[in-house]
Amino acid sequence: MRRDSAPYNGTARRGEATPEGSPSIAAAEDVTRRSAVAEEQAFLDVATARRDRLAEHLRVELSADTRDPVEAARQRMLRQQYEELRRAQDGLVFGRLDGLDGTVRHVGRIGLRDDREDGEPLLVDWRAAAARPFYTATAVDPQGQARRRHIRTTGAVVVGVDDEPLDGTVSAELVGEGALLAALDQRRTGRMSTAISTLQREQDDIIRADATGPLIVQGGPGTGKTVVALHRVAYLLFARREMADQAVLVLGPSPRFLEYIAQVLPALGETAVVSATCDTLLPEIRVGRDESRQLAEIKGRALWQPALENYVASLLPRPRELKLRWEGEFYVLPAPTVAQSLASAVRGRPYHRARAVFAEQLHHLLAEAVVEQRETLLNEMEEGFEDILARFDRDLARDRHPGRAASGSDVDGLLSEEEIDDLRSRIAGSASIARFVEAWWPTLDAETLLRALLTDTTLLARFAPRLSREEIAAVAAEPAPWASSDIPLLDVLADLLGEVEAPQPQGEFVADRARRQRGWVYGHVVIDEAQELSEMQWHMLLRRCPSRSITAVGDIDQAEAAHRHRSWADAVRAVLGDRWTAAALTICYRTPREVMALTEPVLRRAGSHNAPPRAVRSAGIAPWERTVTPAELAGAAVEAVRQLRQRWRGGTVGVIAPADRVGELLAVLSDVPVLTATQSKGLEWDATLLVDPQGIAAEPRGWNGLYVALTRCTQELGQLILTPPG
**Lowest-pLDDT range, 407-416, 651-660, 717-726?**
407-416
The pLDDT tens digits for 592-623 are: 999 999 999 999 998 888 888 889 888 899 99
Q: Give yes or no: residues 134 and 31 share one domain.
A: yes
Last residue of a domain, one of 399, 425, 440: 440
Q: 114-145 burial by CB neighbour count: b if 16+ within 10 A, else e?
A: eeeeeeebbbbbbbeeebbbbbbbbeeebeeb
Is 230 inside a domain boundary? Answer: yes
Write out the DSSP string of 362-403.
HHHHHHHHHHHHHHHHHHHHHTT-HHHHHHHHHHHHHHPPTT
Q: Predicted confidence band at 564 (pLDDT cuts at 50, 70, 90)?
A: confident
Dihedral, CA atoms, 612, 618, 619, 623, nearest 10 degrees?
50
Q: How many domains does the chain have?
A: 4
The pLDDT tens digits for 475-515 are: 998 777 899 999 999 999 999 999 765 545 444 567 788 88
The pLDDT tens digits for 135-164 are: 888 777 888 999 888 888 888 899 888 888
Those residues whose C-beta lies under 8 Å from the C-beta of residue 407, and which sit 6 or more positions away, are 416, 418, 419
Q: Is the pLDDT of residue 7 over 50?
A: no
Q: Give yes or no: residues 172 and 35 share one domain.
A: yes
**Lowest-pLDDT range, 151-165, 520-534, 568-582, 588-602?**
151-165
Those residues whose C-beta lies under 8 Å from the C-beta of residue 286, and which sit 6 or more positions away, are 481, 482
Q: Give yes or no: residues 69 and 180 share one domain.
A: yes
Is pLDDT larger for residue 549 or for residue 190?
Answer: 549
- Give pTM, 2 decimals: 0.74
Q: What is the domain range of residue 652? A: 593-722
Q: Between helices 351-382 and 335-346, what is the axis angle to 10°?
A: 150
The pLDDT tens digits for 23-64 are: 676 677 778 888 999 999 999 999 999 999 999 988 888 887
Q: Give yes or no: residues 427 and 403 share one domain.
A: yes
Is 493 inside a domain boundary? Answer: no
Partner residues linked to 218 by β-bridges: 554, 584
Q: Is the pLDDT of residue 104 over 80?
A: yes
Q: Give yes or no: residues 30 and 179 share one domain.
A: yes
Task: For residue 48, give the 3-state DSSP assignment.
Answer: helix
Is 138 inside a domain boundary? Answer: yes
Is 475 inside a domain boundary? Answer: no
Q: Predicted confidence band at 414 (pLDDT cuts at 50, 70, 90)?
A: low
**Lowest-pLDDT range, 327-341, 418-432, 493-507?**
493-507
Query: Which residue type occupies 284?
Result: E
Is 472 inside a domain boundary? Answer: no
Which run of H or E residues covers position 180? helix 177-185
How far apart are the two ends of the chain, measured CA to CA in Å? 74
Last residue of a domain, one of 567, 585, 603: 585
> What integer pLDDT is reported at residue 215 of this predicted model?
96
Give the CATH number for residue 619: 3.40.50.300
SS (H, E, C) 276-344: ECHHHCCCCCCCCECCCHHHHHHHCCCCHHHHHHHHHHHCCCCCCCEEEEECCEEEEECHHHHHHHHHH
Closest by alpha carbon to 295, among 113, 489, 124?
489
Q: Is the pLDDT of residue 282 over 80?
A: yes
Top mean pLDDT of 125-134, 302-311, 370-379, 581-590 is at: 302-311
Q: Give yes or no: residues 44 and 167 share one domain.
A: yes
Cβ atoms of 110 and 125 closer than 8 Å: yes
> What DSSP designation does 129 have?
G
> What integer pLDDT is reported at residue 4 of this predicted model?
44
Q: Predicted confidence band at 395 (pLDDT cuts at 50, 70, 90)?
A: low
Q: Give yes or no: residues 328 and 380 share one domain.
A: yes
Is 395 inside a domain boundary? Answer: yes
Is 352 inside a domain boundary? Answer: yes
Cβ atoms of 536 and 299 closer than 8 Å: yes
Q: Is the pLDDT of residue 552 over 60?
A: yes
Task: For residue 202, give the 3-state DSSP assignment.
Answer: helix
Q: Is the pLDDT of residue 370 over 80?
A: yes
Q: Give yes or no: residues 581 and 599 share one domain.
A: no
Rounded Cα gap, residues 390 and 379, in angstroms: 14
Last residue of a domain, one of 387, 419, 440: 440
Q: What is the mean pLDDT of residues 178-198?
A: 51
**Lowest-pLDDT range, 101-105, 260-264, 275-279, 628-632?**
260-264
Q: Give yes or no: residues 153 and 94 share one domain.
A: yes
Cβ atoms of 87 and 144 closer than 8 Å: no
Query: Which residue type occupies 328?
Result: G
Q: Predicted confidence band at 193 (pLDDT cuts at 50, 70, 90)?
A: very low
- Average pLDDT of the chain? 84
Q: Give yes or no: residues 27 and 176 share one domain.
A: yes
Q: Give yes or no: residues 160 and 251 share one domain.
A: no
Is 302 inside a domain boundary? Answer: no
> What integer pLDDT is reported at residue 164 of this predicted model?
83
Q: Give yes or no: residues 320 and 381 share one domain.
A: yes
**Strand 322-326 and strand 329-333: pairing?**
antiparallel
